[in-house]
Amino acid sequence: MNALPVTPLEAWTCRKIGRVGDPCMNRRDLARYQLDALNRTLAHVRRNSPHYRRRFSGFSPEPLKSLSDLAVLPFTSAEDVCRDPLSFLCVSQDRIARVVTLETSGTTGGPKRLFFTEEDLELTVDFFHHGMSILVDPGQRVLILLPGNLPGSVGALLDKGLARLSVQGIVHGPVQDPQAAIHAAVEAQADCLVGIPVQVLAMACHEQGGALAGQIKSVLLSTDYVPDAIAARLHRAWGCRVFKHYGMTEMGLGGAVECAARSGCHFREADLLVEIIDPGTLQPVPDGTVGEIVVSTLTREGMPLIRYRTGDMSAFMVDPCRCGTVLKTLGTVRGRLDGSIKVGHRKRFYISDLDEAIFGAGDVLDYHVGIDAADSIDRLTLWIAVVNPVRFAETEYRIRSAVLALPAIGTAVADGRLTVFIRTADRRMAVSTGTGKRRIRDLRERQVYP
**What minimum distance in Å lies between the beta carbon of 260 and Zn ion?**
7
Q: Which stretch binds Zn ion (CB under 5 A): 3-11, 237-245, 281-289, 374-382?
A: 3-11
Q: Closer to Zn ion at the Cβ: 204 or 326?
A: 326
Q: How many CA atoms lie within 13 A of 178 on its CB side?
A: 25
> What is the distance between the alpha carbons of residues 128 and 130, in angstroms, rounded to a whole number?
6
Q: Which stretch binds Zn ion (CB under 5 A): 256-264, 304-312, 398-406, 438-446?
A: 256-264
Q: Closer to Zn ion at the Cβ: 265 or 385?
A: 265
Q: How many CA atoms lie within 13 A of 306 on its CB side?
A: 28
C-alpha to C-alpha distances, 165 to 162, 379, 408, nearest whole angstrom: 5, 51, 46
Instruction: Establish if 7 lies at the interface with Zn ion (CB under 5 A).
Output: yes
Bridge partners, residue 420, by sequence? 380
Q: Which of 220, 226, 321, 440 binds Zn ion (CB under 5 A)?
A: 321
Tell how strand 291-297 and strand 272-277 pair up.
antiparallel
Phi, psi of 273 (to 5 degrees): -105, 125
> What is the distance between the alpha carbons of residues 7 and 258, in angstroms, rounded to a whole number?
8
Computed over its alpha carbons, how large is the radius of gyration of the chain?
22
With contact defined as beta carbons under 8 Å apart, do 212 and 195 qualify? Answer: no
Instruction: Establish if 259 lies at the interface with Zn ion (CB under 5 A).
Output: yes
Instruction: Establish if 261 lies at the interface with Zn ion (CB under 5 A).
Output: yes
**What minimum distance in Å lies between the beta carbon of 195 and Zn ion?**
23
Q: Which of 136, 196, 323, 387 binds Zn ion (CB under 5 A)?
A: 323
**What minimum distance in Å lies between the beta carbon of 247 and Zn ion?**
17
Q: Closer to Zn ion at the Cβ: 131 or 174?
A: 131
Q: Which stretch binds Zn ion (CB under 5 A): 38-46, 86-94, 251-259, 275-283?
A: 251-259
> What is the distance between the alpha carbons of residues 402 and 406, in angstroms, rounded to a whole number?
7
- The interface mask with Zn ion, positions 325-344, x = CB under 5 A, is x-------------------
Q: Which stretch binds Zn ion (CB under 5 A): 6-14, 201-209, 215-223, 373-381?
A: 6-14
With contact defined as beta carbons under 8 Å apart, do 359 and 404 qualify? Answer: no
Chain positions 353 to 372 lying near Zn ion, rule: CB under 5 A, are none
Q: Which stretch binds Zn ion (CB under 5 A): 129-137, 316-324, 336-344, 354-362?
A: 316-324
Phi, psi of 25 (to 5 degrees): -160, 160
Binding site for Zn ion (CB under 5 A): 7, 259, 261, 321, 323, 325
